[in-house]
Amino acid sequence: MTPYSYKSPVLTLDNVSLTLHGETILRDISAQVLDVCRPGLSQGQVVGFYGRSGMGKSVLCRLMAGLLAPSSGTVLVGEAQQPATPGAVGFVQQHYPLFNHRTLLDNLLVAAARRYPEPAEARRQAAEYLERFQLTPHRAKYPAHLSGGQRQRAAIAQQLLCSDHLILLDEPFSGLDVAMLDEVRKIILEVTTLDELNTVVIVSHDLATTTALSDRLWLLGQERDAAGQLLPGATISPQHQYNLAEMGLAWHENVEAEPEFVRFVEHLKEEIRAS
């Protein structure tokens, strides 16, 4: 196992609750992502939030992206641990929205210009990301003429270009065929190796894939009171926070084939069924 240590926080959810139209959607959620340091390796990390359908994953993404304010509690992002505001975190939404009337290159240039005011530098960065994500041959195409995989790579590149190391992926695995799923997994892992400060946050209902890629995992679920009644809103119970790196289950080649991994995913499924 690669030795690692943790440094300062890059994402903090502190007692976050959200009520929408009188309905408690999220209740007292606390979770913290710390910058991970692996000596001699330039490698960031992947962290995962799993939740069943309707559990509040999209709402949680919007909170972390600063697009929604919590009813109580705080969401702090980045090395400076500032309250989340729109644009502070790279947010790759489901279905990968891009500007449809702009070419792929223009989409990336618009993103790059937000972070690199010097136009020549913005062009250099956009070109570098096109190359890195194998999109250079498609740079003059409009989004409607890209394949699903190309759109996803473009959306991730776009968010990486304009954000600072923290990138949030809402349901990155839904609706993908097997080949695409492999490609997306590769991209996620590649993003973490681009820079040791890069942290990819996956929010998904694909338990096995999210677990396989993650260093840390949190399960969103509902708790019951002493009388067995379901409490309103989803939360993260203390026993549903997993440090997969410590457990020896952080991503490595063929982790999914290992008996410990298979047993762990079965255990997670039982926990989810029971909640």
Ligand X SMILES: Nc1ncnc2c1ncn2[C@@H]1O[C@H](COP(=O)(O)OP(=O)(O)OP(=O)(O)O)[C@@H](O)[C@H]1O
201 contacts: CB under 8 Å, gap ≥ 6: 11, 33, 46, 47, 48, 49, 64, 166, 167, 168, 169
To ligand X, the closest distance from the beta carbon of 2 in angstroms equals: 32
Among 13, 25, 162, 201, binds ligand X (CB under 6 A): 25
Stretch that binds ligand X, among 21-29, 83-91, 95-103, 143-151 (CB under 6 A): 21-29
231 binding ligand X? (CB under 6 A): no
Which CB atom, from 130 or from 220, has the smaller least distance to ligand X? 220
Q: How far is the CB of 26 from ligand X (least distance, A)?
A: 8
Angle at the Cα of 173 (from 170 to 175), degrees rounded to 5? 110
Read off φ and ψ for residue 123, nearest 5 degrees.
-65, -40
Site string (168-207) toward ligand X, x via CB under 6 A: -------------------------------------x--
| b/e per residue 238-261 (b: at least 16 CB within 10 A) | eebebebbeeebbbeeebeeeeeb
Tell me: does residue 55 bind ligand X (CB under 6 A).
yes
Other beta carbons less than 10 A from residue 269's beta carbon = 12
Radius of gyration of the chain (CA): 19
Residue number with CB closer to ligand X (20 or 247): 20
Nearer to ligand X, 59 or 104 (CB): 59
Q: Closest CB to ligand X among 232 and 248?
A: 232
Stretch of 49-57, 144-152, 188-196, 262-270 lying at the interface with ligand X (CB under 6 A):
49-57
Among 48, 56, 90, 221, binds ligand X (CB under 6 A): 56
Q: Which of 21, 39, 179, 274 binds ligand X (CB under 6 A)?
A: 21
Q: Which two tokens stand for residue 111?
A: 């993103």
Q: How many residues does the chain have?
A: 275
Q: Which is nearer to ligand X, 62 or 151 (CB)?
A: 62
Q: Find tokens 């939404």 and name the residue.
A: 93
Residue 128 CB contacts under 8 Å (≥ 6 apart), including other chains:
none
Binding site for ligand X (CB under 6 A): 20-21, 23, 25, 51, 53-59, 205
